[in-house]
Structure 1
Amino acid sequence: MEFLELKNFLDRKVEQYNTPDFIVNDPVCIPHLFQQKQDIEISAFFAAVLAWGQRKTIINKCRELLNRMDNAPYDFVLNHTDDDLKRLLFFKHRTFNDTDLLYFISFFKMHYGKFDTFEQAFIPATGAFSIEDSLNHFRSYFFSLEDFPHRTRKHISSPQQKSTCKRLNMFLRWMVRKDDKGVDFGMWKTIRPEDLVCPCDVHVDRVGRLLGLITRKQTDWSTAVELTTQLKQFDELDPVKYDFALFGLGVEKVL
């Protein structure tokens, strides 16, 4: 496709998929259960981290997890007792288990004891930053508690590991992107939509290659950056909106 033809095609697909109807069958429905900022942040982070496999299963496991936290995740992480933590035992989704979960709760308790927003966890102290800096900083900060389980490290990726960081980039999209469509929350203000990197899952990767937006043979952090750079030609200030188009085309096997 020529540039303008491809841009118009993708813009139409963004309009088609970026609607409230998208929420119901996607893990983003989990944070939409809440109104309080911190509840949205915590539930969204769990929904993103657990986003492996079929979306229906992911949503069901997230609902199970929230039920174990009395459907009040912010209150739970701040005020839980040892007996409350027992309710989290034997939770499991794929390779994520109760050891990982208990560490996540410890981290959230530490973080929200210092800050009123999770955005601060992604802001390096150095000042100016890229999303690459932000994600590398976040992984280091996340595992800054002395007792972190080594096994839990596999659940938080970073560009330093050459990962696409699909789940974290999806979480950042939810928190940062702002429009009038109702899917993404747009709650965070320090990280801007133009800073984001496109989540590069199997659907987005496949469609991106078919459309000539990805040329790298492997799929890694540089692939996600390459894709985002291409998408910025279509919308410099909001390139990640095209995640809706690429993902939707992939899931529905339009391409």
Structure 2
Amino acid sequence: MSDYILNLLNEKYELFNQPDFIPNDPVSIPHQFTRKQDIEIMGFIAATLAWGQRKTIINKCNELVKLMDGAPFDFIRNHQDTDLKRFLTFKHRTFNHIDTLYFIEFFKDFYARHESLEEAFTKGLTGESDNIRTSLENFQHIFFGLEDYPARTRKHIATPARNSSCKRINMFLRWMVRKDNKGVDFGIWQKISPAQLVCPCDVHVERVGRKLGLITRPKTDWQMAAELTENLKQFDPTDPVKYDFALFGLGVEGYM
């Protein structure tokens, strides 16, 4: 890997990993909160809904925050069945009220038994794990562990077992796990190492990654995301997905 690519990625990482990145990105949704569980819940929902125009994504997430009375964790724990009627008209692209209500049901059940959503992502993960593949596969089983889950909702929770690149979940995990002093990522989870994260591969990241020779696999799948991450580890083995900022920024701002 050339010094040119390393210098370019480091320069753009510093440029885009700044607080002024937050307002126009879905990460702005969990940044509305300070309680850990609120950050987890709305971070996960914002990442799940993160396809399409960023402005629309943010507006839809804010709609859900309002439907949960501005306090997601309190709503999850304390709502009555009659409170759920307000979600019947919610829709974002193919994500509809059926999916929304199952997400609420899952969170209510999970937080009744666990303090943090991190526990759902650490099953099967050890310090020797190269990346979080097994964790993501296990998370999907945990998420759909409730009886009579809606089959249609499965398409919204990606898994490497179906060879998905898992872009949205990888983005969520970057938000929760990465630790720096830039103010964008939260770094509130301790049991997953930043070195185990896999780079979220949206269209911008993939396009720039290919142009820089960091991706050779032709198909957008888990192996492609893992390939990109392994190449990024040559620049920073302890925090490879920090370069998501650089790749995304280079793409969305039209640098390449």
Q: Which residue in 1 is equivalent to 2:96? A: 97
Q: Which residue in 2 is equivalent to 1:15? A: 14
SS in 2 for 1:24: coil
Deviation at 1:150, TM superposition (A): 0.4
In 1, Cα distance between the equivalents of 2:207 and 2:175?
22
In 2, Cα distance between the equivalents of 1:162 and 1:39?
30
Deviation at 1:89, TM superposition (A): 1.1
In 1, Cα distance between the equivalents of 2:15 and 2:244?
12
Mapping 1:139-154, distance limit 5 Å: 139-154=140-155
Deviation at 1:252, TM superposition (A): 0.8
Q: TM-score, normalised by structure 1?
A: 0.98
Deviation at 1:125, TM superposition (A): 5.0
Count of residue pairs the alignment pairs up: 254
Q: Which residue in 1 is equivalent to 2:225? A: 224
Structure 2 alignment gaps of length 5 or more:
none
Deviation at 1:147, TM superposition (A): 1.3
For the Cα contact (< 8 Å) 2:46–2:57, is it kept in 1? yes
In 1, Cα distance between the equivalents of 2:254 and 2:34?
34
Q: TM-score, normalised by structure 2?
A: 0.97
In 2, Cα distance between the equivalents of 1:104 and 1:228?
29
In 1, Cα distance between the equivalents of 2:79 and 2:244?
37
* Identity value in percent: 63
Q: Which residue in 2 is equivalent to 1:3? A: 2
Q: Which residue in 1 is equivalent to 2:139? A: 138
Q: Which amino acid aligns with 1:79?
A: N
Structure 1 alignment gaps of length 5 or more:
none
For the Cα contact (< 8 Å) 2:18–2:182, is it kept in 1? yes
Mapping 1:70-89, distance limit 5 Å: 70-89=69-88
In 2, Cα distance between the equivalents of 1:190 and 1:35?
20
Further displaced range: 89-98 or 128-137: 128-137
Change in Cα spacing, 1:126 to 1:238, as seen in structure 2 (3 Å) is closer
In 1, Cα distance between the equivalents of 2:17 and 2:105?
35
Q: Which residue in 2 is equivalent to 1:200? A: 201
Mapping 1:169-248, distance limit 5 Å: 169-248=170-249
Q: Which amino acid aligns with 1:171?
A: F
Provide runs of 4+ in structure 1 moved above 4 Å: 125-129
Deviation at 1:127, TM superposition (A): 5.0
In 2, Cα distance between the equivalents of 1:127 and 1:27?
30
In 2, Cα distance between the equivalents of 1:232 and 1:35?
31
For the Cα contact (< 8 Å) 2:118–2:189, is it kept in 1? yes
Deviation at 1:124, TM superposition (A): 1.1
Q: Which residue in 1 is equivalent to 2:28? A: 29
Q: Which residue in 2 is equivalent to 1:67? A: 66
SS in 1 for 2:22: helix
- What whole-Å deviation, never above 9, does each CA across 1:65-101 have from its counterpart, x for those lacking one? 1100001100111111011111111100000000001
Q: Which residue in 1 is equivalent to 2:52? A: 53
